[in-house]
Amino acid sequence: MAEQPPLRRIRSFVRREGRLTTGQERALERLFPVYGLEQTGQPLDFQALFGRDAPVVVEIGFGNGVSLAAMAAAQPERNFLGIEVHRPGVGGLLQLVEQQDLQNVRVICADAVEVLQTMIPDQSLDMVCLYFPDPWPKKRHHKRRILQPGFVQLLRSKLRMAAIFHCATDWQNYAEQMLDVMTDAEGFTNTVTDGEYASRPDWRPLTKFEQRGQRLGHGVWDLLFRKTG
C-alpha cells in the first residue's frame, strides 16, 4: 500500500451536545467502567477486550446508540465497538447495553480519527459503519465532512482483506461526494454495479428518523464497498 499523506486535522464534528438525562448520567457512572474504553493511544487487543476471538465491527458516530444496539443484538457472533464524541449518546447506548444484556459491545467517547490512528491495529476490522455523518451542508464547510480520501485510506489500513465499509446518508449532495470518493479510492470495490448505490442491507436497522423521512419523500443512500487491495 502506498504511503498516505497525514490527515488534515480539520474536525468533522462540533461538540454541541445537550444536557445528560439522569439515566444517561447514571449509565456513564456505573457502566462506562465496565463497557467503556479510555483513549489511551495504545493499540487494542480485541480478543482480550471481548474475551473471545470474533469478527469486529466498528460504528463511527453511533448517535443515540439504537442502531448499534440493534445490530449487536441481531449478530451475537460479532463484536461491536462504537465510537462517539457526544456523551449523551454514549450514555444512551450504555443504557441499551444493560437493558438488553449485550456482552458483545464496547464503547469509546473520542474522536474517531484519533482512535483509528492510535488504537485500532492494522488489518483487524471486519466491517466499519458510518451512518448519517454530519453532512456539513454549506459548501464552504464541505472540507469538514469526515469522508475524505485520506480518511478512506486510514480505514483501508485497519480493515482486513474483503472487509466491508458501509456508509449511509440522507443528503444527496453528500451521497454523491461519498460515491465519487469511494469509486476513486485505491483498494476498494463497489459491491454493486460501479457508480451505483446499494439497497439498505438487513443488518442496518431502519431508524425512526429514517422512517419519518421516507414518509416525507426524503431519500437515503447506502454505499457498500469491499476492501480488495
Active site amino acids: 134
Report the 10 Å Cβ neighbour count for 142.
Answer: 14
67, 81 contact by CB (below 8 A):
no
Can you spell out the DSSP letters for 41-83?
SSPP-HHHHHTS---EEEEES-TTSHHHHHHHHH-TTSEEEEE
Nearest 5°: the CA angle 24, 63, 208 is: 100
Q: Helix or strand or coil: residue 114? A: helix
CA distances from 163 to 37, 85, 166, 222 (A): 24, 25, 10, 16
Contact 168, 204 (CB under 8 A): yes
